[in-house]
Chains A and B, each alone.
Chain A
């Protein structure tokens, strides 16, 4: 049934991580009877295991709620969930573009944090009406008055009528629904104009193919129509349109301007229904797509190899399946002298990388070895050409390089003023360039740095958290490329180059890092049959060296009473153990050694 536009509200919830976004979403679903108590699992909107464990939302979901307001009218509330991590900034922006307003949650104990601000600015960029909500008032440390003052001062948002709630206990949550109906504008749009529907998410379903989540800006769409993706030009016959309910998809006749819904059209991969693309109809095609589409490019790359070479095909299948649902994951086959056959995978950031890695291991039961993550460097050669390098193996001969560039980010770090010193130390260590510092309130500073991307992808966030006792938060976006002095570090075990351990690094950091890696490898590689030199080299020059001592004793002294089986079992066990090791010539390297090389900041 067609809903009057005046009775539709399209909104999202934005918050800093852990400020209670998912919990509030749960309460809204309950209050609108979208799910029964019995069906209520914790945080219905986040339905991936990893999300639940990490307490973060990875993929956007949307749900239509029917709400009978205090004025006696029934409203259709379309809640669009947004990813909450900087790795997914683009996806967030597309979700916001599908909304007319946003509920801004602020933790009554913590106040305004980096992503509170980051997300607020993003929402303002999309002209969203903001509805502030002060959450966690049930906590003893809650100070809603101070936090309201904070929000008014920092964000300039009137909080006098902001609902003060506890999403956890449910206290005062109905006020949030009323505030949404009252303050968020209804959608605009013209049913008779050519169709323009914004894709804000797409998921792959085994039975229906890709389910495309859209916000219809203008026009209408129904089953049987021929639709067209404006960015890719691909055309499909619409099989079904409908609304997302909390637990099911509910088909409907037609989607109209202003509405949020889904489309299925036998689309085989989410790559063909990219987030940000515009859906139109072949008949009466829109003149121009909706603004803001861009093809997201992976920023972080690493090699992903099966621990057991026999799992190569299984890994390919798993990656293909994940890609069905994740257009920002890229991969292509790669061969490493050390690791054999695997894939070079591209990710939006390190969190994205970790999520994919975890899903491969958990959902597909694969044992993986990953190489050191790398960003994309631009290497300008003497002949005037430029190559983009994300795999250290392809790093050109230093003699042919004229100069190099590395990606840098605009990074904003938010923290109480007492941590400014340690934050500046950290940024300095990470080759940051200080831009400026603003007191956004008397107990909150915004420190702005230009930071090289390769300095923040590994463990910057962890280091920041630990040095600021959890009070620091941070947000970044890619700024562009800057000239840099890069070198490639090679690791040699027993004289053999282990390509999987090579990485590109700023020249100033090469020596200390080389020493540390040599030590870590020595500590993490068990004794071998022979003494093994560990060397770290730039070009042909060894700059750090350690030795793994030879194993001295591994013998079954006695085969008692002809008990040969024991000896055989030992041999079998040894073969099993080998599978978990990577062999380089005669050197066996456990997976932990690879991981150890990645962890830089753990010696404190």
Chain B
């Protein structure tokens, strides 16, 4: 097979409840709406009707290297529905033998054993669970109900079902977080023996409840939040993890390959409201509007993608880095950045350090 592999993202815009910091497109909807959505998404997989203007001919002849169910909370749909979506995917595309199939799941699942067994059977081989914090008080402020016992049960269930990769999400810089409480969370996360951790610094997104009450949140200040990030990087690396992207860590080679597609200029098709795509040098997205999607509203153009600047900007988020030769005329700046510990240039490859990642917007902006 010669054609370039493709990654597929499927957005499930449903949640059992909305977390106060989240600005992703999702909400609570009745069962009929969820059923209608399932039908529309399956139809879109079959026809690419909404994305037709941007889908090149022969797209479905390309094999999938990854499928990612994100949300929202895909697990809200239940195993049977998700299995049916995967069936539709397999009907349209072939999957590479080692294709990564990820399911985001909320640890407050009622029957994780049955759920993960069914998903494993359908081919899901990677699970991403939202832990956020192991500390009860922090979790409550984040609106996350499921705690340590549920996480432990889910991780065990996923592993028992034969799901190879388990990733946990942890949030940094959340209200009331201290070095000690963060270490407690990280210790707990590692005790679950995940293959992967995503550790995201909290950002206050406009319009979210967190944004509106920002002054009352007891948030760590810039310096404290930066220290929490550095603490995380230091600890996880000491435990043998690879820090392969700004917010992502893995053991061995267990990187999240789907996400890596984004950083390495790979093609991806995103289906569902709010999903973004990058195909044949063009970026487009489905408007974040469930009704619109149900009614067949087409995708929107976001212009060309994949130019040199964009590729560098994305690669510099990873430990792949970028060749120093990609920054002609920036030699003095590179030296200064290196002297100040924001980048390394070993072997002629520019890589951001942990401190560099922390100010990566600025560093990348300077370099480009």
Contact = CB atoms under 8 A, between A and B. Distances in A.
Contacts of A571: 313, 361, 364-365, 368
Interface string B305-324: 10000100110010000000
B11 A561 contact: yes
Interface in B7-37: 9, 11, 24
Given A530-B340, A552-B226, 17 more contacts: A529-B340, A551-B222, A552-B359, A553-B222, A553-B226, A553-B358, A555-B201, A555-B358, A556-B361, A559-B317, A561-B270, A562-B261, A562-B275, A562-B276, A563-B285, A567-B314, A574-B361
Nearest to B7: A562
Interface in B222-281: 222-223, 225-226, 229, 246-247, 261-262, 268, 270, 274-278
Contact of A558 (B200, B261, B314, B366): B200
10 contacts: A531-B340, A550-B340, A551-B362, A556-B203, A556-B361, A558-B200, A558-B247, A562-B261, A565-B276, A570-B361
A478 B41 CA distance: 83
Contacts of B358: 552-555
Interface of B: 9, 11, 24, 70, 200-203, 222-223, 225-226, 229, 246-247, 261-262, 268, 270, 274-278, 283, 285, 302, 305, 310, 313-314, 317, 333, 336-337, 340, 342, 357-366, 368
Given A561-B9, A562-B9, A570-B361, A553 B201 contact: yes
A552 B203 contact: no
Listed residue (A552, A554, A557, A570) with the most chain B CB atoms within 10 angstroms of its CB: A557
A494 to B, nearest CB: 9
A557 B173 CA distance: 12
A529 B357 CA distance: 12
B360 A554 contact: yes
Contacts of A551: 222, 359, 362
Which 6 pairs across A and B sit closest by C-beta, in order of nearness?
A552-B226, A574-B365, A557-B201, A557-B200, A562-B276, A554-B361
B362 A574 contact: yes
B197 to A, nearest CB: 13
Nearest to B333: A586
A571 B367 CA distance: 11
Nearest to B339: A530
A552 B200 CA distance: 16
A560 interface: yes
Size bin of chain A's contact surface: 20 to 34
A529 B310 contact: no
A381 to B, nearest CB: 37
Given A529-B366, A562-B270, A554 B359 contact: yes
A567 B247 CA distance: 15
Given A562-B262, A562-B278, A555 B268 contact: no
A529 B342 contact: yes
Nearest to A571: B365
A562 B9 CA distance: 9
A553 B262 CA distance: 23
Nearest to B277: A562
A54 interface: no
B362 A554 contact: yes
Given A553-B226, A586-B333, A560 B365 contact: no
A552 B368 CA distance: 20
Contact of A564 (B201, B275, B314, B340): B314
B293 to A, nearest CB: 14
B274 A568 contact: no
A469 interface: no
B362 A552 contact: no
Listed residue (A529, A551, A561) with the most chain B CB atoms within 10 angstroms of its CB: A561
Contact of A553 (B225, B268, B364): B225
Interface string A400-419: 00000000000000000000
Contacts of B366: 529, 586
Given A562-B9, A571-B313, A586 B336 contact: yes
Given A529-B340, A529-B366, A555 B276 contact: no
A557 B9 contact: no
Nearest to B173: A553
Nearest to B307: A568
A529 B359 contact: yes
Nearest to B362: A554
B222 A564 contact: no
A564 B303 CA distance: 11
Contacts of A560: 24
Given A553-B201, A556-B203, A557-B200, A563 B276 contact: yes
A61 to B, nearest CB: 51
A571 B360 CA distance: 11
B308 to A, nearest CB: 13
A575 interface: yes
B290 to A, nearest CB: 15
Contacts of B9: 561-562
A574 B361 CA distance: 8
Contacts of A556: 203, 360-361
Contact of A575 (B262, B305, B333, B365): B365
Listed residue (A552, A565, A574) with the most chain B CB atoms within 10 angstroms of its CB: A552
A561 B361 contact: no
Contacts of A529: 337, 340, 342, 359, 362-363, 366
B313 A568 contact: yes
A301 B363 CA distance: 38
Contact of A559 (B24, B262, B368): B262
B336 A564 contact: no
Contacts of B302: 565
Contacts of B360: 554-556
A407 to B, nearest CB: 43
Given A564-B278, A565-B302, A557 B11 contact: no
Given A530-B336, A561-B70, A552 B223 contact: yes
B154 to A, nearest CB: 22
B140 to A, nearest CB: 22
Contacts of A558: 200, 203, 247
Contacts of B261: 562
A552 B261 CA distance: 28
A570 B363 CA distance: 13
A553 B362 CA distance: 9
Nearest to B336: A586
A564 B268 CA distance: 12
A561 B288 CA distance: 12
Contacts of B223: 552
B263 to A, nearest CB: 8
A556 B247 CA distance: 9
Contacts of A552: 222-223, 225-226, 358-359
B299 to A, nearest CB: 13
A526 to B, nearest CB: 11
Nearest to A552: B226
A481 B67 CA distance: 82
A552 B305 CA distance: 30
B363 to A, nearest CB: 6
A564 B312 CA distance: 12
B112 to A, nearest CB: 24
B203 A557 contact: yes
A562 B362 CA distance: 21
Nearest to A574: B365
A568 B268 CA distance: 17
A557 B365 contact: no
A554 B336 CA distance: 18
Contacts of A570: 361
